[in-house]
Amino acid sequence: MSQIIVSVSELNHQYREGERTRTVLNGVTLELRRGERLALLGRSGSGKSTLLNLLGGIDTPHAGRIRIDGTDITRLDERARTLFRRRHIGFIYQFYNLIPTLTVAENVRLPLELNHEDGTAAAHKTLSMLARVGLADYGDAYPDRLSGGEQQRVAIARALVHEPLLILADEPTGNLDAENGQQVLQLLDRLTRDRGGALVLVTHSRAVAQMADRMLSLVNGRLSEDGAELTW
């Protein structure tokens, strides 16, 4: 079994801004190993979230290849990318993105239902994951009854419940105070280590990035291994 989960080769992506074309990614090449935690740093507008969306198959690059566990997702059509994402990728966002009309347990169980998991097995996995994030007694609650830190723990549970190969976290502590942010980072660190998946953590904060095994900075559309170009 290859230890390389993600392989990105010569990735290029542009946006139209009025009459101009803006290049946000320019020849990005990257490898991510099984169990590795990568922090991706960069200023606002540097292309961090764009790269995350490309890794997740939400968008497709203008040039280059992205292989996840051997599958070239840039060659998949939209439906195939959606199915691949549901099975193999977990997303965590700054603003939680929980569905307010669903209970905590229903939010966490949703990825399993989308993957047509057996109902009994899905219920067991949901309860087990809620226990692991310290919310075993909150399954019947609705998201608006929870604190920000608790909502982010629900989001982490939802992202990990289907045991994805790759976890993509976009500023997961950006909407939390320092104490809750630290708790969420510790939880995310522990759970991703336990499950052996790879993690890409997008952040603008070097303090947050310290949890990772490796830090890369996105500067002028290119990746820098140690981020030496940036001053924070």
Render 153-191 in DSSP notation, one character per residue. HHHHHHHHTT--SEEEEESTTTTS-HHHHHHHHHHHHHH
In angstroms, the Cα distances linking 107 to 59, 72, 129, 201 are: 24, 29, 12, 22
Q: Note the pLDDT of residue 232.
A: 35
pTM for this entry = 0.89
Q: What percent of the chain has pLDDT over 70?
A: 96
Residue 224 near residue 216, CB atoms below 8 Å: yes
Report the number of distinct structural domains present in the chain.
1
Residue 121 near residue 162, CB atoms below 8 Å: no
Q: Which one-letter amino acid corresponds to residue 86?
A: R
Q: Is residue 98 part of a domain?
A: yes
Q: Is residue 138 part of a domain?
A: yes
Distance from chain centroid for Cα 199: 7
Domain with 158, as residue range(s), is 37-49+78-224
Q: What is the CATH number of the domain that holds 171?
A: 3.40.50.300
Q: Is residue 21 part of a domain?
A: no
Banded pLDDT at 142 (limits 50, 70, 90): very high
